[in-house]
Chain A
């Protein structure tokens, strides 16, 4: 991969009792405080970041990422990653940090963090946002945007996390409209909650692409593509394929390489239609009035990627092989991809349960099992049960994930941030850490406008000039 990528995940919190003293609002705060004050996994913010992020609300981590409270949810951002391997490892490192904190606090049997995106009963949704650094010179022309929206609306066939039931955020009610067919299972958690194609808000008017142009780097050179559409994935293979294919498509679009006949008439409607189509035909209507399947649209992007990006590096070649293999597998027999794609694994699990227990797909127990797929606790979560039986493909070892909880990537500016966090834990001084700058005491800040640069020498100099350890 030749692009900086980061993921931001908001976790749900499930309390396994009717204990009113520590509900889903209280435990995220306790866990955040434990991670910074007891486990010393990061340096807590000493300053306001914005109106809703007061001092102490969160901070940067030893691994260069960030952990904070956002609208009641614990949210973890990976550091800036330059390889797919790192994106997957640091995403999993966030899971690992939260679960380990619960264990250290002796709460693991009472509280679970849930890496999903929906609450079946309130209609609430929370995200897994993807960030891709792009060249500032890349223009979002109507043709480029139409192609990108089409790719994003159709990639869910191999990136979805799956969900039981449906939501109707447009109507602000959570029962199906009278004229709407009841949906028992669909392939994406977020599809029902995406109501716009491109927009700047992140709540109540969620768009496939968030229009906020905030590169957190030299804005003359870079822009940041911020995607709201993706689901939180448990399966490492799904995460790698989601990020890898998207990064490759951005490479093509930046060079003006655009597939023909992919622009959708209504990308938002197609997102919902494809997610809900359990016939697996996944037909989308194009802006020219014709129809094509999600398979055909994905294969148009894949063919261009094979032509222009093969041989770039080992990871891209892996993506090209697996992208083709997964599309072939989905077309041949959807269930053949259960070890690689979250929504298929979940559907297989639930179908097995429905058959065995002789219950209907509308049984509310299935909502609880849907939730349990995403439980981070390896002793409880159903995704982890699949891993334990060798039914889910893993890419990263547990040892590597643990290593990534405390060590930043060496090839991005996250390295300097991680080093600063480590030193600031023992320095008695004020500091301000941001994604693109670090200020210690009264010294001039280190500006890190180039996220590809590790700033090793620069941060060592800044730390050497800092006040002595307390």
Chain B
């Protein structure tokens, strides 16, 4: 491995304003409303885990 390189420090790449308005947002932890999430969860087929049936891997 190359010898240790001292690089300039500063904000990590994702802390720079790289994303546009339509991109990722920081979380809004203040939103208490869970209505839409619950609606989405209720739509999940209760039996899908039984249907999953995966082979074992590594």
A interface list, Cβ under 8 A from B = 2-3, 10, 12-16, 18, 23-25, 70-73, 75, 83-85, 114, 119-127, 129, 133-135, 202-203, 206, 221-222, 228, 311-315, 317-318, 338-339, 349, 352-353, 356-357, 364-365, 367-372, 382, 385-387, 389-400, 452
Q: A314-B11, A365-B46, A372-B44 are in contact. Are A390 and B23 (CB under 8 A)?
A: no
Contacting residues, chain B, for A349 (C-beta < 8 A): 37, 41
Enumerate 22 A-B pairs (CB-CB under 8 Å) in ascending A order. A2-B4, A71-B57, A71-B58, A72-B54, A119-B54, A126-B55, A314-B9, A317-B12, A318-B12, A318-B15, A353-B41, A364-B47, A364-B49, A365-B46, A368-B44, A382-B44, A389-B31, A389-B37, A391-B27, A391-B28, A392-B27, A397-B24
Contacting residues, chain B, for A364 (C-beta < 8 A): 46-47, 49-50
**Closest approach, in angstroms, between the C-beta of B40 and any C-beta of chain A?**
5
Contacting residues, chain A, for B45 (C-beta < 8 A): 16, 368
Query: CA separation between A363 and B4, bound complex, in Å?
Result: 52
Contacting residues, chain A, for B49 (C-beta < 8 A): 120-121, 364, 367-368, 370-371
B interface list, Cβ under 8 A from A = 1-2, 4-15, 18-20, 23-29, 31, 34, 36-38, 40-42, 44-58
Query: CA separation between A338 and B34, bound complex, in Å?
Result: 14
Which one of A14, A134, A206, A385 contacts B40 once the chains associate, using CB atoms below 8 Å?
A385
When C-beta atoms are compared, the residue in chain B nearest to A23 turns out to be B53
Asked whether, in the complex, the Cβ of A339 is within 8 Å of the Cβ of B27, the reply is yes
Contacting residues, chain B, for A70 (C-beta < 8 A): 57-58
Asked whether, in the complex, the Cβ of A134 is within 8 Å of the Cβ of B1, the reply is yes
Contacting residues, chain B, for A371 (C-beta < 8 A): 48-49, 52
When C-beta atoms are compared, the residue in chain B nearest to A345 turns out to be B27
Which one of B12, B53, B54 contacts A315 once the chains associate, using CB atoms below 8 Å?
B12
Contacting residues, chain B, for A85 (C-beta < 8 A): 12-14
Contacting residues, chain B, for A392 (C-beta < 8 A): 27
Which one of A129, A221, A311, A356 contacts B58 once the chains associate, using CB atoms below 8 Å?
A129
Asked whether, in the complex, the Cβ of A391 is within 8 Å of the Cβ of B31, the reply is yes
Which one of A391, A394, A395, A398 contacts B29 once the chains associate, using CB atoms below 8 Å?
A391
Query: CA separation between A391 and B31, bound complex, in Å?
Result: 9
Asked whether, in the complex, the Cβ of A399 is within 8 Å of the Cβ of B53, the reply is no
Query: CA separation between A389 and B41, bound complex, in Å?
Result: 14
Query: CA separation between A120 and B14, bound complex, in Å?
Result: 36
Asked whether, in the complex, the Cβ of B14 is within 8 Å of the Cβ of A73, the reply is no
Which one of B12, B38, B51, B53 contacts A353 once the chains associate, using CB atoms below 8 Å?
B38
Asked whether, in the complex, the Cβ of B54 is within 8 Å of the Cβ of A393, the reply is no
Contacting residues, chain B, for A339 (C-beta < 8 A): 27, 29
Q: A349-B41, A382-B41 are in contact. Are A396 and B14 (CB under 8 A)?
A: yes
Which one of A125, A134, A221 contacts B56 once the chains associate, using CB atoms below 8 Å?
A125
**Closest approach, in angstroms, between the C-beta of A433 and any C-beta of chain B?**
22
**Closest approach, in angstroms, between the C-beta of B11 and any C-beta of chain A?**
6
When C-beta atoms are compared, the residue in chain A nearest to B26 turns out to be A393
Contacting residues, chain B, for A114 (C-beta < 8 A): 52
Query: CA separation between A44 and B38, bound complex, in Å?
Result: 43
Q: A314-B12, A369-B44 are in contact. Are A2 and B37 (CB under 8 A)?
A: no
